[in-house]
Homo-oligomer: A and B are copies of this chain.
Amino acid sequence: MDVQAKPHEQLADALSVPLAQVDALIRERMASEHAPRIPEVTQHLVSAGGKRIRPMLTLASARLLGYPGPYDVHLAATVEFIHTATLLHDDVVDESSQRRGRPTANLLWDNKSSVLVGDYLFARSFQLMVETGSMRVLDILANASATIAEGEVLQLTAMSDLSTSEETYLKIVRGKTAALFSAATEAGGVIADASEDQIRALHVYGDALGIAFQMADDVIDWMAETGKGVGDDFRERKMTLPVIRAVAAAQGGDDRAFWARTIGKGRQEEGDLDRAHQLLVETGALHSTRETALGWSGTAQEALRALPENPLRHMLHELADFVVARLR
């Protein structure tokens, strides 16, 4: 194994056999004899790559506890199907035209196909979890699905709402990212017949990792050095944690009026992005969000201590560093 490899590459290496089984299962289950549009659309998404973090979280969680398979493979395919389905629906909701540098399915085909193929993948994921025969796994994934859907609706209604609280932000983040991460790790533990303490630890790890990951993303959207499209969230009037904290810390009526105009009313002018960035720095909002993200990464690592020490656990530990590495 390449010791210089990034944690997700190390995981992909260590889990290459079950990951290949996951890929084969995904290909098999997204086929539809009678509706060739379905594999067309999903193939497009699946072949677009992505790091397959979620299926690896399931496989790593189950196998670091000694589980030999095969149902973690079903679960890993399940979480990847759920993830892909939410991407398809998100692209319709966001009216996106690009994902991972490629045209989105709703642009290549149409919104209709994105909605319906998303539904198809949800249904397929549901069949896969039933095959595991574990009612507890179904309970975990049903609850995660509800959290995801509620978080998405919440994000839609919270957008441009200056009164959005940190609590609401956290619910949105859990819906967008952390609920599926924690379901992926917790379900892995359940299928491996882990102890209650271990299952709880895996849940906390996945939840905290997902929150750290999403929070880092929300900080990076404001970091000029990263080369990513800076200020996308500002233009889309998203109430991410840096903005929530900057709004809360706004000193004068001027600053409050600035946020009300740019985010609340969406009337943005040249120079506004710079001023917004300046306010995020001056109020300490950007710095404190970075600290909070690092704190969640630490929470994830702390949780791992309840699990057996082995190479997979080590990689999960490194992964928690990696998702916030861009902030350091």
Could you list which residues of chain A lie within 8 angstroms of chain B, going by C-beta atoms? 32, 34-38, 86, 89, 92-93, 111-113, 115-117, 119-120, 122-124, 126-127, 129-130, 133, 135, 138-139, 141-143, 145-146, 148-150, 152-154, 156-157, 168, 171
Of chain B, the residue at the smallest CB distance from A145 is B123
Q: Is the CB of A113 within 8 A of B146?
A: no
Q: Measured between alpha carbons, how far is A117 from B93 in the docked complex, in Å?
A: 11
Give Cα distance in the complex from A120 to B145, angstroms. 8
| Contact assessment for B156 and A34 in the assembled complex, using a CB-CB cutoff below 8 Å | no
Kindly provide the distance from the CB of A267 to the nearest chain B CB, expressed in whole angstroms: 21
Instruction: Give the nearest-CB partner of A149 in chain B.
Output: B120
A89 touches B153 (CB 8 A): no
Q: A92-B111, A112-B156 are in contact. List 12 more A-B contacts (CB 8 A).
A: A35-B153, A37-B157, A38-B153, A86-B119, A89-B116, A92-B112, A93-B112, A113-B156, A116-B149, A120-B149, A126-B145, A130-B142
Q: Within 8 Å CB of A152, what residues of B?
A: 116, 119
Most buried by B among A123, A129, A168: A123
